[in-house]
Structure 1
Amino acid sequence: MNSQAELKTEGRVARRQKRNRRSLIDAARQIMSRKGIDAATMLEIAELADVGAGTVYNYFKSKEDLAIAVLEELMHELALQIEKVTDTFDDPAQVYAFGVRTVIDTATHDMRWRQLLYRSEVIANAIFQRMGPFAIRDLQNATHAGRFRVEDPALTWKMACHAIVGVALAVTTEEMPIDVVDETVVTLLCMTGVGRAEAADLANRDRPALPKR
């Protein structure tokens, strides 16, 4: 086979692999959203994706890995939804506050998040990576506007991600009451350099509903 033919073959293989991976994530998202991660099976996901049952493991080592891939997409979509709402805000500090509260509320209520919270390190890192470009930008904007005093936005967001996952896990396992979420949001806002009273004001402002997907 000449080099040009080899390149064409490699291109076809890469495209097929990309399609298969996309199909598996779409199928997993549909099934897991309907019946939960625990009840979903790799066989039904493979059948819906129209790939061989054994082929799934060429792309994902386990159902959990596939679920994390689904959750990463949900995180990015949530960031976009938050952005649509907060684009209407005048106060850049409120933008970040709304985002933090929305993420922690989602983590404690959305079944697809709840079932993976025990993988706290993985999920916190996924939040940091997928939602970080938005949150770090919001921290920078609020700092430039004089509303926050954040020297290292990436570090601040990193710590927030771990706190969000830790508290969400404690709430969903009933180790802590749900009202600890309010205190968590205030504490995370205090990490931006604002006083407690101002943090509480930001945390308690009206929160418009997210746009429907």
Structure 2
Amino acid sequence: MPDATHPRAGRRQTVKAPIEGRKPLAGQSPRLARRRAETRVRLLNAAFELVGEKGMDGVTINEITDAADVGFGSFYNHFDSKEGIFAALVDWLFEKFADTLDQVASGLADPAEVIAVCVRHTLLRACREPVCGQLLIREGLSARALSTGLGQRLLRDAERGMAEKRFVIADELMCVISVIGTVLAGIAAELDLSMSSRRAVSSRKTLTSRAEKFAEGTAAIVLQAFGLPRLEAEKIARRPLAAVPQDAPA
């Protein structure tokens, strides 16, 4: 299905349809199902753009439906609340991003390097796309986030590291929760620092270098939480970082 876009969305990243692959409801015509899917995508695109402009707390349902050119009542055919549409954005954006991280880390044999690469890319994306950082902070420790997407991948990689005797931790779930908290705190700090730096620094190269160092430092702290010695953790966190493939879902 082609991406459904809104005229305002050209200024920002357009969210691709998170409902791709869904089957029409029983008894629903393909044409009606397509129109329903397009409306849902327009609402998601509008919410994504507005969050970038005003922050999540500053966005209202009425603003979302106006930006999507959708009737106010139609919103509730797709989402039960403002929180519901934000949750849908999180589910789709970070499930796709988790798939991308799997692709980037697929050739790495060391579970510690896998964790470091994923942490660094997550922080760098939050710096590059503040809306994604805001959404992850909002949903990062919810039960849903721990059981899907990035949280589930992190638990899987932690279990692999323990099975291979690479990590030394007493309780992988509690360790993963504390690691997620560390990453979310890092994202929050990075977003705040990025805003301050953009006001004070005009060089994009300088901002990128600072963000990369911040991501490396956070990854080193995370690896120490998994039981690695500090010097080894810092060495792994500074290894060359492969770029996200251009055709991967970002």
Query: Could you state the TM-score of these two structures normalised by the residue count of structure 2?
Result: 0.65
**Mean Cα displacement is larger for which, 142-151 or 178-187?**
178-187
Structure 1 residue runs without a partner (length 5+): 1-9
Partner of 2:87: 68
Aligned-pair identity (%): 23
Partner of 1:26: 41
Partner of 1:7: none
Partner of 2:132: 113
Matched, 1:123 2:140: yes
Match of 1:186 among 220, 229, 236: 220
SS in 2 for 1:194: coil
CA distance in structure 2 between the aligned counterparts of 1:92 and 1:117, rounded to whole angstroms? 23
Match of 2:166 among 147, 166, 169: 147
Give the C-alpha shift of residue 135 in structure 1: 1.4
Rate the CA distance shift 1:57–1:168 in 2: closer, same or farther, 3 A.
Answer: same
Measured on the aligned residues, the alpha-carbon RMSD in Å equals 3.4
CA distance in structure 1 between the aligned counterparts of 2:189 and 2:215, rounded to whole angstroms? 10
- Give 1:188's aligned amino acid: V
CA distance in structure 1 between the aligned counterparts of 2:232 and 2:178, rounded to whole angstroms? 20
- Give 2:191's aligned amino acid: T
Match of 2:153 among 125, 134, 157: 134
Matched, 1:199 2:233: yes
Partner of 1:5: none
- Checking the alignment, whether the CA contact within 8 Å between 1:97 and 1:202 is kept in structure 2 is yes
Query: Could you state the TM-score of these two structures normalised by the residue count of structure 1?
Result: 0.74
Rate the CA distance shift 1:24–1:143 in 2: closer, same or farther, 3 A.
Answer: farther
Structure 2 residue runs without a partner (length 5+): 1-24, 198-210
Matched, 1:81 2:114: no
Give the C-alpha shift of residue 38 in structure 1: 3.6
Give the C-alpha shift of residue 186 in structure 1: 1.2
- Give 2:85's aligned amino acid: L
Match of 1:53 among 72, 76, 95: 72
Give the C-alpha shift of residue 145 in structure 1: 1.6
- Checking the alignment, whether the CA contact within 8 Å between 2:169 and 2:227 is kept in structure 1 is yes
- Give 1:131's aligned amino acid: L
CA distance in structure 2 between the aligned counterparts of 1:157 and 1:118, rounded to whole angstroms? 16
Rate the CA distance shift 1:169–1:131 in 2: closer, same or farther, 3 A.
Answer: same
Per-residue CA deviations over 1:127-165 (Å, capped at 9, x if unaligned) read: 433222211111111222221113322222211222222
CA distance in structure 2 between the aligned counterparts of 1:209 and 1:92, rounded to whole angstroms? 19
Give the C-alpha shift of residue 203 in structure 1: 0.7
Q: How many residues align?
A: 198
